[in-house]
Amino acid sequence: MNWIDRDGKFLVSKEGQFAFAFVATANDSTKFLLAIVHVATERVIWTANRAVPVANSDNFVFDEKGNAFLEKDGTLVWSTNTSNKGVSSMELLDTGNLVLLGSDNSTVIWQSFNHPTDTLLPTQEFTEGMKLISDPSTNNLTHFLEIKSGNVVLTAGFRTLQPYWTMQKDNRKVINKDGDAVASANISGNSWRFYGKSKSLLWQFIFSTDQGTNATWIAVLGSDGFITFSNLNGGESNAASQRIPQDSCATPEPCDAYTICTGNQRCSCPSVIPSCKPGFDSPCGGDSEKSIQLVKADDGLDYFALQFLQPFSITDLAGCQSSCRGNCSCLALFFHISSGDCFLLNSVGSFQKPDSDSGYVSYIKVSTVGGAGTGSGGSGGGNKHTIVVVVIVIITLLVICGLVFGGVRYHRRKQRLPESPRDGSEEDNFLENLTGMPIRYSYKDLETATNNFSVKLGQGGFGSVYKGALPDGTQLAVKKLEGIGQGKKEFRAEVSIIGSIHHLHLVRLRGFCADGTHRLLAYEYLSNGSLDKWIFKKNKGEFLLDWDTRFNIALGTAKGLAYLHEDCDSKIVHCDIKPENVLLDDHFMAKVSDFGLAKLMNREQSHVFTTLRGTRGYLAPEWITNYAISEKSDVYSYGMVLLEIIGGRKNYDPRESSEKSHFPTYAFKMMEEGKLRDIFDSELEIDENDDRFQCAIKVALWCIQEDMSMRPSMTRVVQMLEGICIVPKPPTSSSLGSRLYATMFKSSSEEGATSSAPSDCNSDAYLSAVRNCTLLYHDMFWPSIQAISLSVSWADMNIAVAGAEAVEVCGGPPIQVSPGRLDTLVHDPEGRLPEESLNASGLKKCFQSKGFLTQELVALSGAHTIGSKGFGSSISFENSYYKVLLEKPWTSSGGMSSMIGLPSDHALVEDDECLRWIKKYADSENLFFEDFKNAYVKLVNSGVGGIAYKFRS
């Protein structure tokens, strides 16, 4: 549809209260936002592209496939992602909700209420996983509202998120039922209501006395960090008693950073920094650390986040000061005199000056250069003298640095050291510019702490781990990277990721060393070591972890991963979840470790392409098929670990019988047969009435589904393990386990070694070798053989059987294919393999141009051949993959175009769309199209499903 919105109202609600339109941005009348606007007040209540305004020449499209999207200069900036999901219409409701409806005009397939921006409307349900995001403040600070861990939380978007309000601690709420976790909230009348998982009302926040039926109250998260309530029909509720939070100084920056907020938002500078500036851009930048000192701030100060944060440590004042001095990322500290709680801040907002003493002593890091920490004053002559001294010092330092640099360069050239000065300075700059960092140790410090690395705890992919202890008695596990060339990226990843996050179920990084060519990581020491030592028993009768302990380990690991995926500022994909990377403390509490392979993703990203990493046996199929990975790749690895926890054995053990050697295959089979007890460690005493017994198995099998869209999120895994939500029976196709087995042997081997599988099953050389094979059909359980005309070519027969297998192994219905002559040992009289018959097919031309491999062509063409040659039952074939994937949708002229693969006049119409519509069909039907990539190689390589190849003599 080509239409120009000249009136600024593309879509208007039935009663005319709301309009869906383009509105100009506040700062630039030539830039536009696609927004829902309340017509009477002209208030914007929802935007599609708040971060990326578009120009007058850009397009909003609602296409014939049911997808609505916005483009800027031809680049997609926003989309509902609803192609081929049955959308037939778009409607703007009088509630302010933009909806995409199905063909019955009542089924909601997508709605703007599920994707709020900064405003909540009446009847709009706000649930866990949603987020209100404010416009940035004048200091470019963003605020967030979320439901987290059963509470409603406001946080400030510093590099490390800092909470500043929770409904749980707000004493203005009316309690209907306490002690339950909040699952959802909505605006109802003159109150904000909070509900539990059973939809029971827990709390109410009454923000107005106006209960009139004409009142339409909304909640808005402003750029100042306050939530205010407004009546769209007139009237505000901005009194301090009715906004959130209540105190005018309780938001992150009611004044500027380092400024003290007092009373009615009066702002003043601390006495130790009269300019309100600490005097440096970054405390970790080069020599600036030498010119920074920790100075005592004004008495009785408080900070908005302290009541919501966990202390860095519990110590004395000297210990707290030492921790801040030893961490260049620490900008300020607050020490509570009575409790000993020590808080280190790596980002600083405004300070608070409460009416009564806060009980805290506070210190701020300030620069000693230019008198930043000494107050104003001093004569003009003194200033000149200071300038002269500074110039002399700088010149002297430059001369010394030049001599040192020349000496080091000469020495490195002579000794041929592996790291160049450029590499070292580049990494130093990287590390120094990170915020929230732990203590940086010298190599000598850690060499002393480990007694010259005398007690080795274990060996990892990029180095060894040694036991150590600090002078204060704190025990450490020190990881020494061996070969900085191969471990530099892993070192950076681990320091930047785990150094800035803290969670009960994540191993804590206490410090690091980047000293010359030495790279070391100092973790908290966990006395019980890694999980693999406790679940993989070498000898019968060794200490056995009971079921309660194992279940708690599984749950703790899940919580740690859920935090990485959902609760960090950036989504973190671990990429190497395995028992060796789950560590256990004195009480067998699980902590996820080893972030050297982790991948950071923006919140807006759902998938990312990356190089192969991880460990064979735990790698998700998308790693092997070169498909984009996501946090669901971690879910797959977790599922494999959970199976090993349950079974007390590795997922592949050649010492077991052939039926049991690949544990996932065996687990799927036992699930199908209802023999769940056979999956568990035979030495475990288990009450089969324990709900956790079946729950754990089902969760594990859901997690290792090949189709990543079918795997649950880690948050959902936690909920299922905790019994919060029901765990349905997972799909248990027996062929799924077999494909997982095949995938395992195509993955990279453990810790970076090379797999023993064929190096490239997709290569021309490999296909050339296969040409000497003959297809033999020998499945005695296949349905009765029907008569097949001898005129059917062997190539078509081979394609048909391969296609049938491809359909079934990918989750489609069984297709009865009559094998005809293929049940004999007679060689193919035509001497051809299936791919040789594809040259005449439209598939060959269409799909090869899109980068599809020959194996994929065989699988797809096989499904086509089954139907077109009449090999399959038309009834069972009607809903097969052939129907779903190889039949094009309606054409623009209204007729059904021919099937791709039929060499007709219409087969290659709109050739550029062939890949696009197939993948969208697959996505909309929850079909895992990528399985086709391996279908034919699997047939050649494994003999699964009654098909085998033999070499000709």
Q: What are the pLDDT digits (tens) for 303-358?
A: 999 988 888 888 899 999 988 888 877 899 999 998 899 999 988 999 999 888 88
pLDDT at 913 over 60: no
State the pLDDT at residue 329.
78
CB 882 within 8 A of CB 863: yes
State the pLDDT at residue 409.
56
CB 367 within 8 A of CB 291: yes
Least confident of 46-60, 165-179, 226-240, 803-817: 803-817
pLDDT at 202 over 60: yes
Task: Identify the H or E element spanning 266.
Answer: strand 266-268
Report the mean per-residue pLDDT for the chain. Answer: 70
pLDDT at 490 over 70: no
Secondary structure (3-state) at 314: strand
pLDDT at 895 over 50: no
State the pLDDT at residue 921.
34
Band (pLDDT 50/70/90 cuts) for residue 767 is: very low
The mean pLDDT of 497-522, rounded to a whole number, is 80
Secondary structure (3-state) at 375: coil
**Based on the number of CB atoms within 10 Å of its own CB, is 603 exposed (0-12), middle (13-18) or buried (19 or more)?**
exposed
State the pLDDT at residue 915.
39
Task: Select from 866, 948, 939, 931 the least CA-distant residue to 901.
Answer: 866
Least confident of 72-76, 96-100, 547-551: 72-76
* Residues 361, 279: Cα–Cα separation, whole Å: 22
* Residues 874, 867: Cα–Cα separation, whole Å: 8
State the pLDDT at residue 228.
93
Task: Identify the H or E element spanning 440.
Answer: strand 439-440
* Residues 184, 196: Cα–Cα separation, whole Å: 7
CATH topology of domain 260-371: Hepatocyte Growth Factor (3.50.4)
> What's the pLDDT tens digit per position in 437-466?
578 888 999 999 999 999 988 776 567 889
* Residues 869, 866: Cα–Cα separation, whole Å: 6
Is 480 labelled a binding residue? yes
Residue with tokens 């890694």: 530
- Domain limits, the chain: 1-115, 260-371, 380-426, 438-524, 532-752, 765-951
State the pLDDT at residue 235.
60
Residues annotated catalytic, as ranges? 576
Collect contacts of 446-449 with beta carbons under 8 A, ≥24 apart: 446/478, 446/513, 446/520, 446/522, 449/476, 449/478, 449/522
- Domain 1-115: which CATH class? mainly beta
pLDDT at 869 over 60: no
* Residues 845, 911: Cα–Cα separation, whole Å: 9
The mean pLDDT of 166-187, rounded to a whole number, is 87
Q: What's 413's DSSP letter? A: H
State the pLDDT at residue 657.
79
Task: Select from 124, 165, 172, 125 the least CA-distant residue to 145.
Answer: 165
The mean pLDDT of 142-156, rounded to a whole number, is 91
CB 607 within 8 A of CB 598: no
Alpha-carbon torsion 423, 428, 431, 432, what sign? Answer: negative
> What's the pLDDT tens digit per position in 436-445?
457 888 899 9
State the pLDDT at residue 6.
56
- For the chain, how many helices (H) and strands (E)? 21, 44
Between 828 and 567, residue with greater pLDDT: 567
* Residues 22, 79: Cα–Cα separation, whole Å: 16
Beta-bridged to residue 524, according to DSSP, are: 476
Task: Select from 482, 484, 479 the least CA-distant residue to 468.
Answer: 479
The mean pLDDT of 806-834, rounded to a whole number, is 38
Band (pLDDT 50/70/90 cuts) for residue 510 is: confident
State the pLDDT at residue 572.
82
pLDDT at 372 over 60: no
Q: What's 165's DSSP letter? A: E
The mean pLDDT of 716-725, rounded to a whole number, is 84
CATH architecture of the domain covering 438-524:
2-Layer Sandwich (3.30)
State the pLDDT at residue 184.
94
State the pLDDT at residue 610.
41
Q: Determine if the pTM surpasses 0.75.
A: no
* Residues 340, 316: Cα–Cα separation, whole Å: 6
The mean pLDDT of 92-121, rounded to a whole number, is 94
Strands 18-24 and 32-38: antiparallel
Instruction: Give the other-Cβ count within 10 Å of 286's Cβ.
Output: 11
Instruction: Give the other-Cβ count within 10 Å of 200's Cβ.
Output: 11
The mean pLDDT of 177-185, rounded to a whole number, is 84
State the pLDDT at residue 241.
64
Band (pLDDT 50/70/90 cuts) for residue 600 is: very low
Best-predicted range by mean pLDDT (122-126, 514-518, 811-815)? 122-126
pLDDT at 414 over 80: no
> What's the pLDDT tens digit per position in 248-281?
899 999 998 999 998 777 899 998 888 888 877 6
> What's the pLDDT tens digit per position in 602-661?
444 444 444 444 566 687 777 555 555 678 889 999 999 999 999 998 887 777 777 787
The CATH homologous superfamily for domain 532-752 is Transferase(Phosphotransferase) domain 1 (1.10.510.10)
State the amino acid at position 830 in one-letter form. E
Give 768's contacts (C-beta < 8 A, 6+ positions apart).
none
Between 520 and 490, residue with greater pLDDT: 520
Between 876 and 78, residue with greater pLDDT: 78
pLDDT at 765 over 50: no
* Residues 695, 400: Cα–Cα separation, whole Å: 67
How far from 837 is each of 763, 840, 857, CA to CA, in Å?
19, 7, 11
Strand positions, DSSP E, 39-173: 43-47, 59-62, 68-72, 75-79, 89-92, 98-101, 108-111, 119-120, 126-127, 132-133, 143-148, 151-156, 162-166
CB 479 within 8 A of CB 465: yes
Percent of the chain residues past pLDDT 90, beyond the cut: 23
Backbone φ and ψ of 587, nearest 5°: -105, 20
